[in-house]
Amino acid sequence: MSTLRQQHGQRAEELARQFLRAGGWEIVQCNFRRRLGELDIIARAAQLLVIAEVRTRSSGAYGGAAASVTRAKQRRITRAAQQLLQQRSDLARLPVRFDVIVVSDPCGPAPVIEWIQQAFEAC
């Protein structure tokens, strides 16, 4: 991954966390990495746990950032979420929702955030 892509990705995740916090969400954990997959943001509000995949793209070609969360990526996210819930009994009792947060132009002067709630179901 190029340095510029990494910077854009890290900035997009930072903006997504700020966005969720501003909406009253508690960020439980970020970048939960396991062999089977990675979870970008794990957030909680009241009695709901959100697993948020953060995506960014410089253009809308090929369906844009949201379309890049393929079925295979959804399976990896679901598997990583299962591992998280096996390790964290405090979170396992909560209903889980899988969201996608799209950050357009994260390093630009006016980034745009689109929050796609319940973007997909567990695979």
CATH code assigned at 97: 3.40.1350.10
Q: What is the pLDDT of residue 15?
A: 96
Contact 113, 93 (CB under 8 A): no
Q: What is the pLDDT of residue 35?
A: 86
What are φ and ψ of residue 26, in 5° steps?
A: -95, 125
Q: What is the pLDDT of residue 62?
A: 55
| Rounded Cα gap, residues 106 and 116, in angstroms | 17
Q: How many domains does the chain have?
A: 1
Q: What is the pTM of this model?
A: 0.89
Q: What is the pLDDT of residue 65?
A: 63
Per-residue pLDDT of the chain (123 residues; tens, 9 = 90+): 568 888 889 999 999 999 999 999 999 999 999 888 899 999 999 899 999 999 986 655 556 666 778 999 999 999 999 999 999 999 999 999 999 999 988 888 999 999 999 999 886
Give the range of the structural domain holding residue 116, as residue numbers without chain letter: 3-120
